[in-house]
Amino acid sequence: MSPKFDLVIVNGVVVTASDVSSFDIGIKNGKIHTLAPSWNGNAIRPSWNISRVFDSTTYQVMPGGIDGHVHLCQDLTTGPNPCPLGLGGQCADNFETGSRSAVCGGTTTIITFATQTRAEEDRSLLKVVEAYNGRAQATGSYIDYAFHIIIVRDDKDVLETELPVLVKKWGITSCKLFMTYETMRLQDYQLLDVMLAALKNSITTMIHAENGDMIEWLTEKLESKGMLAPHYHALSRPPSVEGEAANRAIVLAELIENPLLFVHVGSSASANVIRAAQTRGLPIFAETCPQYLNLTWEDLKRFHSPTCFENSKMICSPPPGPDSSDQDALYLGLHNGTFTIFSSDHCPYKYDDPHGKMVGSFRLIPNGIPGVETRLPLLFTRGVSTGRITPQKFVELASTNPAKLYGLYPRKGAILPGSDADIVIWHPEGSLPPFKLTNRHLHHNVDYTPYEGMEFDNWPRYTIAHGKVIWANGELLGSLRDGKYLRRGPNQLGKGVAHFKKDPRRVAAWVHG
């Protein structure tokens, strides 16, 4: 006898990273159990014992979104210098509010950051992760979640003894390193130390690529001229700042044959450097984010007047490009594969808050903007609906590639028998009247959105996680403890071209001996 399904999605236009097909999907015990071709529009198969049916005729059915770059519950007030990203900036979202916002925008898995500081009590990476995990458990999450580890020290004994434990016990297979911010940046020597240790443990190295010395020099020059308003933040970080750091990181990584992922790439200067390295066969991956496809330097001035402090709402690092030409270049990068994944870099600070963005000069403003809920709708409206990317490319960037890059595929990022039944269903084309976004539409714990007033023509109608409908027609239906912690495997996207020539002028292959 056929198994009883908890949920069946019938007559859907199923979109994966490679195909668009008409399938019925049978879900049982939180997993995708059966895929079968639709029966000429018949909603129910006589052989299926069904508890609940979704007839999704003309709807696009996709794997749930995976956002691999989300900041939640990060305490940025600890350490010897308490302002790595601003004057005591504190994330506005915890796991409850952040995961709630994510699922309302079609995301069913998030990866957040356990953050080491240079304080002696944070020397142990294991203790950092245990403390951060306590924050997640304190509230719970609506959706599944995993952790990256941010490393700001190169203590060799810690790297040697604790990285293997992070992989084996916690399934943490990615670390993030900074090339800027005084209390977080690593010098080249230290970057090499951590990269090599990560490589030995099959840990993906994520790089925040900005030249800290260039930023500090430009900031001091701006301050000496009294140029302190929020929009001068962009002038302190022109695209060459990112491009130089990306090039330097690639040289360091090639020296020891270490794969790299560049996060939040915001300029064509950086994208061009990354593309050139990929063309040479190096295992270089890249991420871009909604702010770089939808904002420019002009948006740093658009609240009332150029000197109005509300412009601090738009500050993130790297900043978006000076004009729309960078947006065109980044869309090309989405199209041609320069960018492996599309993430939000949701880094939420309130505006009207003592630990928020309404502080002093641009130097002190916490760098980051909210976006976990708007990530997928923005790319759908401005990418898929306009024809700039295909629905398949959308799935590849927003779900399947993040799952592969972060060691979650095919459990996540796929519509396959055995995969978690994490699914997002969009409105049929043209059925949702276009609307202008306001912060009232959103479910984060932030008092603004940088995309206020932008027009959207689609939004997830249903979000399903582990076979349970948790967002439907504008209503949140999930429970806070629905989400579980995910242990991850290594990067599944490869290590570059096989038998790539190790030119001794560029590669120190002997360091692995």
Residue 294, φ and ψ in degrees, nearest 5: -130, -10
- Residue 30 gets the label, from left (phi > 0), alpha (psi -120 to 50) or beta, of left
**What pLDDT is attached to residue 498?**
56
- Rounded CA separation 174/180 (Å): 19
Fold type of domain 65-405: TIM Barrel (3.20.20)
Q: Per-residue b/e over 24-35, b at no fewer than 16 CB within 10 Å? A: bbbbbebbbbbe
Whether residue 85 has pLDDT greater than 50: no
- Residue 225: pLDDT band with limits 50, 70, 90: very high
Mean pLDDT of 235-240: 97
How distant is the alpha carbon of residue 155 from its chain centre? Answer: 28
Among the listed residues 70, 78, 83, the one whose alpha carbon sits nearest the alpha carbon of residue 365: 83
pLDDT tens digit string along 428-442?
988 999 999 999 999
How distant is the alpha carbon of residue 431 from its chain centre? Answer: 29
Cβ neighbours of 96 (radius 10 Å): 18
- Rounded CA separation 502/390 (Å): 37
Q: Strand ranges (DSSP E) for 60-106?
A: 60-63, 65-67
Among the listed residues 357, 353, 330, the one whose alpha carbon sits nearest the alpha carbon of residue 342: 330
The two beta strands, 460-465 and 423-426, are: antiparallel
**What pLDDT is attached to residue 115?**
96
Average pLDDT, the chain: 91
- Rounded CA separation 297/300 (Å): 5
- Rounded CA separation 393/11 (Å): 22
Task: State the alpha helices, DSSP H only, in 387-460.
Answer: 391-395, 401-405
pLDDT tens digit string along 244-290?
999 999 999 999 999 999 999 999 999 999 999 999 999 999 999 99
Mean pLDDT of 415-423: 98
376 three-class SS: helix
Mean pLDDT of 63-76: 92
Cβ neighbours of 473 (radius 10 Å): 8
Residue 492, φ and ψ in degrees, nearest 5: -105, 10
Which two tokens mark 328?
């065109």
Residue 369, φ and ψ in degrees, nearest 5: -135, 155
- Residue 296 gets the label, from left (phi > 0), alpha (psi -120 to 50) or beta, of beta
How distant is the alpha carbon of residue 453 from its chain centre? Answer: 23
- Rounded CA separation 444/438 (Å): 12
Asked whether 402 and 343 are in contact (CB, 8 A), the reply is yes
Please measure the distance between the N-terminal and C-terminal CA atoms of the chain and give it in whole angstroms. Answer: 58
Which two tokens mark 460?
């997830």
- Rounded CA separation 261/242 (Å): 14
DSSP tag of 204:
E
**What pLDDT is attached to residue 55?**
76
* 225 Cβ contact partners less than 8 Å away, ≥ 6 residues apart: none
- Residue 212: pLDDT band with limits 50, 70, 90: very high
More confident position, 177 or 501: 177
pLDDT tens digit string along 2-47?
568 899 998 889 999 999 998 889 999 999 999 988 764 454 555 5
Among the listed residues 422, 455, 460, the one whose alpha carbon sits nearest the alpha carbon of residue 443: 460
DSSP tag of 384:
I
Residue 340, φ and ψ in degrees, nearest 5: -85, -40
Q: Which residue has the tokens 């700039």?
A: 388
How distant is the alpha carbon of residue 454 from its chain centre? Answer: 21
**Dihedral, 326, 316, 276, 180 alpha carbons, nearest 10:** 150
Mean pLDDT of 400-412: 98
**What pLDDT is attached to residue 87?**
44
**Cis status of the peptide bond prior to 318, with omega within 30 of 0:** yes
- Rounded CA separation 389/458 (Å): 15
Among the listed residues 131, 118, 130, the one whose alpha carbon sits nearest the alpha carbon of residue 79: 118
Cβ neighbours of 183 (radius 10 Å): 18
Which two tokens mark 216?
């500090």
How distant is the alpha carbon of residue 385 from its chain centre? Answer: 22
What one-character-per-residue DSSP string does 25-80 give? EEEETTEEEEEEE-BTTBSS-TT-EES-EEE-TT-EEEEPEEE--B--S-B-S-SS
Cβ neighbours of 226 (radius 10 Å): 9
More confident position, 492 or 500: 492
User: What's the whole-model pTM score?
Assistant: 0.95
The H or E element containing residue 254 is helix 239-256
**What pLDDT is attached to residue 1?**
46
